[in-house]
Structure 1
Amino acid sequence: MRISWKHGLLAVSALLLVTTVSQAAVPMPKAEAFDWYGHNGSGTFREEFNGTELDSTKWLIAAKQWGGDNNGVVPENVKLSGGKLILEAHGDSYTGDVLGLKRDGSAPGGVKQGGKQRVGAAIASRDYLGSGKYTMRAKVIGNMGVASTMWTFNYQEYYPGDPEFQRAVNAGLVSPTAEYYAYNHEIDIELPGRPGAAHTGQSFQKALFNTFTGENEGEYQTTYGNLPVNVADGQFHDFSFEWHTGSPTEAARVDYYIDNVKVATNTNFIPTNAGRLWLGVWFPNTWAGGPPSFDVKQMEVDWFEFTPYNEPGDTWMPETFPDDGWESMDFRPMTGAEINQRNPSAGGVWRDDFNGTTLNPGDWLVAKKNWGGQLGNGLTGQSFNGGVHPDNVKLDGQGNLALEAHGNYYNGLPLGINRTGAPRKDGKRVGAAIATSRYFGSGEYEVRMKVPNVNNGSPHGAVPAIWTFHYQEFDEGSPEYVANNGTGDYWASNHEIDIELPGRPGPPHTGMTFEKALFNTWQGERESPQEYHANFTDLGENVAITDGGWHTFKFIWETGDTARGVVPSVKFYLDGDLKWTATGANYVPNKPGRLWLGYWFPRNWAGAANFSTSQLLIDYVSIKPYSTGGAVVQSESYPMDGFAAWEEYPGYCSSPCGGGAPTPTPSATPGVTPTPTPGATPTPGVTPTPTPSVTPTPTPGATSTPTPSPTPSVTPTPGPNLLVNGDFSGGMNGWTQSGGSASVTGGEMVLASNSVTSRAEQQNITVTSGRKYRLSGNLKNSNAASWTYLGLTGSMSNVTNSQGNTNKEAGISGTAYTQAWIEFTATSNTVSVYTSFYKDQAGSGYADQLTLVEIP
């Protein structure tokens, strides 16, 4: 099979921060044979698919769209029943309630809610697996038009200046002017098959057996295999492949088997990168025959088994976008029916009682970010607080979630982070927060928690908070921007409901007390025109003192539904007593969001944080979804920004648990991102600075754009600037437009949006071989979701950059000037410098104050 497509922009730009990972919480053992970092486990990994819900420590559920005219794969179509995995496909005759997903570059996040027909299902292993034998026992769907599949997948992108990119150029696999080159390491078993390349003659006595190392023609092999039996006979069959990456005794190859009978061998384009194992049903454009003239069909998987070979040819390379396209990015609100599907005794209520020793990664995301206290003009990156950190999220073993806050008197780890993502020098004013993996809309939200009494019932600088959050940015000129009289580069849709403690009598930040609460509703961020309402609510008691601090907070949210005769409202309750009702005039949100729980440090409205350590204990959370008929269901612009890698959470256990595996290095942590946080007393002008989002699709043909990850560094003492006119005070003097549209206006380089990459460069700058240099410059964008880059060409070594990698290029997103830099050792006597703005992005890129200096 060979399919080419462009996928939507849906991903995480992240920043690698190395921190100490606590191992205080010990989760239950897992059975994976490998962990992400390439540790060799022992024995065979086997999944029997018992129970009613997938084990989220082993499996990810996909929520994405690829491969043509279909509506993607969604979590509702993944089920467990009778000891089997059920992957459901909805054909052209489907009339039920499940809606799919559709890529749309004009939609927030690059994706929108899709139609009902041609919606499939897929899961993937959380861990990465290498050489070995892979087997699923399955009963495939015996209808044309839908593909029943098992495949491995590992996707990477390499950019100009990287040796791998140059290798591809030298091999004629990619143009020297291309934006990137993709490694697509993949092995497929796909049904139905066909006799040859033409999309005709499809049959279930044939299969497609594919191996890939890239996306281009000449980087994959398809074998049109003949099977010993018609596998659409309604019976279970064993589908296997043995993957050999190569050793002194084994040639690199993939052997394919049906019911233990070898039916094909691929010897070309054999991948070596360990990949996630996928099982799925989906709707290709034409190669699976069709049309899919059916209502609902199911592929049943009885079990999956993997036996590792641990061959020396295995390579363990991280994917470029490992977190994209999973259930946690699914913006469609979870329904009572879906909750009951996973837990038949749930009664339509999603609930967590926080029993056990670790959070469920299928239910929760752990935050690692900073908001609510930028100092100065923001260019220094310094923040009042140290943000929220995964090390401060714990289960106490008594059935409570413990969100820990470290105050002014705290000395220890973890270190806090600034808004830029850069680590701080201490652990003071560092809190904790988690958010539901799934989105919820109208319904009943209830949290029982113990309000901390740190200061005899008085405010103590840290805020216990419960809130929903949904954030989007709409660019200048968009219908939403125009309809809301936007100003600046974008208009922000910030749909949010808050319960925050302590409260106060009114807008001035005085009189804070736990006898009051802030009950807020939001639809935007602006104060003028008003887009939010803050209600200063009298609780009638000091909730940090009464009943030992244990209280039940609840709100009932109605987004509004004309069909049910329901108007928008939010009713806020304390211990069952109604305290305040927000109506449509109070900016009641209508976009489903995640539910957040947090304990964090505002800058100036919660008192002084004069304590060492405090914990907010949460007994349970429950959400009872209502009808979503009145909701506006859309993706967030940056749905995965601000969350830690699961490996950073202290409850994470590398596999197999119980020893042998190295402690995982913390994974990428989002840097400057939109602030999904409660807005206490909303403050105008707090504009999140997001990062782009890209979703590579786990099938052949994906393309995407780079997602850089800025990492600040100490700036060495500079020498003289080797660039001519680096501040652009002399217009284009010294600079050449080498692509797209580049000009100097007002003393700054302007790189305008174009169908090709806009680029300006300064060539043949004299350097001394063997000496170390630093290229730096201030970059910004008129559109916060776009990226401007600074880069080098020429021969050099020991390259590092502000994104934490070894590329000779570094980029910046956001609308405020931020410094990007590259350090290198020259290995020739000349280099060239460029600044660029990738094609087809919104707005323009800007560059100023560029310097190239020799450093010690």
Structure 2
Amino acid sequence: MLVRAMLLLIVTAVLCPPLTIGQELPPLPSGAKVTLEEDWSSSKIDEKKWYVYRKKWGNGNHGVVPENVTIGKDVVGGKQKNVLVCTAHGDQYDGEVIGWWGNKTRVGGVIVSQQYFASGRFEVVMKIGSQEKHPGGPADPMRPKGCIPALWTYGYRWVEADKSRQGEFQAETPMYNPHMPAYGLAANEYWSELDFPEFGKAGNFENSMYNTFLQNRHDNRFFQIPRAIDGSYHTFVTEWRTHLRPMPAIRDAQVIESEGYYWIQDKSVPFADYLGNPLKKLGDNKYALYEGKIAMHYIDGKKVAGNDKWVPAMSAQLNMGVWLPDWAGPADWKTASMKIASVKVWQYGDEGDVIGVMKGRNPDNFVQDGKPID
């Protein structure tokens, strides 16, 4: 019995690694494939790899715009090289760039990968702020209080169904799920997001947010990472893993196939058992759930954070940049920035990855003169 218990503990430790802080970044697993590399050496933003938002979300800000995403020069590892510069315009900005409804203040810049990614390793060499002050910049150049520099994956899909049958599954709209209504409508938001991290809530840059979003579930976690707030470049790495979880009680009559996946169609199946994720058919009356497993986060090769709750399985695009929501606090300056020296993504192809459900470019929602798109 003791031996069996010890074996169970060993297996559990392998399958469900603890969120221990300070561990070394592990070697890449066999079969990992590089699917994106970028160092901006071409001196331009490659439109085959990237697009840049003109978009607003959240409160207390005026969006993000392409004009605030540029290629510049900086010293990285003792050598001058090209870097991506994502600029934030604070509460005192009075220049020419405008955002939502023509407003000049609280406008940021975000770049997005054309590709969608799922399980894998995401490596970004990035600098928050600067070690030196500049005219119109923050009083503390290492901590540009009032803006949110961030790295995140994001995938989103809106599904709308017949409102007269809002409380029921609808076979003609296989992805519609009455257990996760959005905004009181006969509609769903499929949402896949990992934040790794978001800096600067309420002006606090050392206590950063590593969040997960899975449909209508959201887990918000804070971790202390002061080592990254020194105006220098650091290597941020996130490992995202997924798996298949058997669901032995599910039968063929309870699901419907769409887009290569199987979707629950039976209200008697507890929503908490699957949270809107699709299933894989393994045989007659035999299914497993596509499910996010864990996300581990490292800075300069040391583990600093982890997420094991509501980790998504659906693929998402890599987002990088800076924005200025109200919850960042006042931005008592004209300009600040984050800089990205390089990006590299490996994909692992875990069996729990959901590929192809999230797709396409996340659209802009206002035009260059600031007017919203209807």
- Counterpart of 2:177 in structure 1 is 482
Give SS of 1:495's match. Answer: strand
The verdict on how the C-alpha distance between 1:519 and 1:628 changes in structure 2, with shifts beyond 3 A counting, is same
Once the two structures are superposed, residues 469-490 of structure 1 have per-residue CA deviations (whole angstroms, 9 ceiling, x without a partner) of 1111222444544363424231
- Counterpart of 1:599 in structure 2 is 322
Measure, in 1, the Cα distance between the counterparts of 2:332 and 2:370.
29
TM-score by length of structure 1 reads 0.30
Give SS of 2:243's match. Answer: coil
Task: Trace 1:120-519 onto structure 2 (pairs within 5 A).
Answer: 348-373=34-59, 384-397=60-73, 398-417=81-100, 423-424=101-102, 426-453=103-130, 454-456=138-140, 457-458=142-143, 460-476=145-161, 477-478=169-170, 479-482=174-177, 484-486=179-181, 487-502=184-199, 512-519=203-210
Superposed displacement of residue 612, structure 1? 0.8
TM-score by length of structure 2 reads 0.66
- Counterpart of 1:683 in structure 2 is none
* 2:315 and 2:358 in contact (8 A); partners too: no
- Counterpart of 1:627 in structure 2 is 349
Task: Trace 1:400-799 onto structure 2 (pairs within 5 A).
Answer: 400-417=83-100, 423-424=101-102, 426-453=103-130, 454-456=138-140, 457-458=142-143, 460-476=145-161, 477-478=169-170, 479-482=174-177, 484-486=179-181, 487-502=184-199, 512-525=203-216, 531-539=217-225, 541=226, 543-545=228-230, 548-561=231-244, 568-583=293-308, 586-604=309-327, 606-636=328-358, 639-642=361-364, 671=372, 710=374
Q: Match of 2:108, as an amino acid? A: G
* 2:114 and 2:361 in contact (8 A); partners too: no
Q: Match of 2:44, as an amino acid? A: T
Structure with max Cα Rg:
1
* 2:125 and 2:234 in contact (8 A); partners too: yes
Measure, in 2, the Cα distance between the counterparts of 1:432 and 1:490.
30
Superposed displacement of residue 582, structure 1? 1.5
User: Alignment RMSD, CA only?
Assistant: 3.0
Measure, in 1, the Cα distance between the counterparts of 2:337 and 2:209.
20
Q: Taking CA–CA contacts closer than 8 Å with sequence separation of 6 or more, which of the two structures ends up with the larger relative contact order? A: 2
The verdict on how the C-alpha distance between 1:400 and 1:637 changes in structure 2, with shifts beyond 3 A counting, is closer
Where has structure 1 moved over 6 Å in runs of 4 or more?
A: none
Give SS of 2:228's match. Answer: coil
* 2:117 and 2:347 in contact (8 A); partners too: yes
Give SS of 2:57's match. Answer: coil
In structure 2, stretches of 5+ residues that fail to align are 1-29, 74-80, 131-137, 162-168, 246-287
* 1:473 and 1:491 in contact (8 A); partners too: yes
Superposed displacement of residue 669, structure 1? 9.4
Q: Match of 2:148, as an amino acid? A: V
* 1:495 and 1:589 in contact (8 A); partners too: yes
Measure, in 2, the Cα distance between the counterparts of 1:669 and 1:524.
30
Q: Match of 2:145, as an amino acid? A: H
The verdict on how the C-alpha distance between 1:643 and 1:396 changes in structure 2, with shifts beyond 3 A counting, is farther
Superposed displacement of residue 501, structure 1? 3.7
Identity %: 27
Superposed displacement of residue 637, structure 1? 7.4
Once the two structures are superposed, residues 6-57 of structure 1 have per-residue CA deviations (whole angstroms, 9 ceiling, x without a partner) of xxxxxxxxxxxxxxxxxxxxxxxxxxxxxxxxxxxxxxxxxxxxxxxxxxxx
Once the two structures are superposed, residues 540-588 of structure 1 have per-residue CA deviations (whole angstroms, 9 ceiling, x without a partner) of x25322xx3321111100122469x9971111112211122222xx110
Q: Match of 1:403, as an amino acid? A: C
Superposed displacement of residue 632, structure 1? 1.9
Superposed displacement of residue 670, structure 1? 9.7
* 2:314 and 2:357 in contact (8 A); partners too: no
Larger helix proportion of the pair? 2
Give SS of 1:492's match. Answer: strand
* 2:153 and 2:316 in contact (8 A); partners too: yes
Say how many residue pairs are matched: 275
The verdict on how the C-alpha distance between 1:601 and 1:620 changes in structure 2, with shifts beyond 3 A counting, is same
* 1:459 and 1:608 in contact (8 A); partners too: no
Q: Match of 2:46, as an amino acid? A: N
- Counterpart of 2:265 in structure 1 is none
Once the two structures are superposed, residues 191-247 of structure 1 have per-residue CA deviations (whole angstroms, 9 ceiling, x without a partner) of xxxxxxxxxxxxxxxxxxxxxxxxxxxxxxxxxxxxxxxxxxxxxxxxxxxxxxxxx
The verdict on how the C-alpha distance between 1:567 and 1:589 changes in structure 2, with shifts beyond 3 A counting, is closer
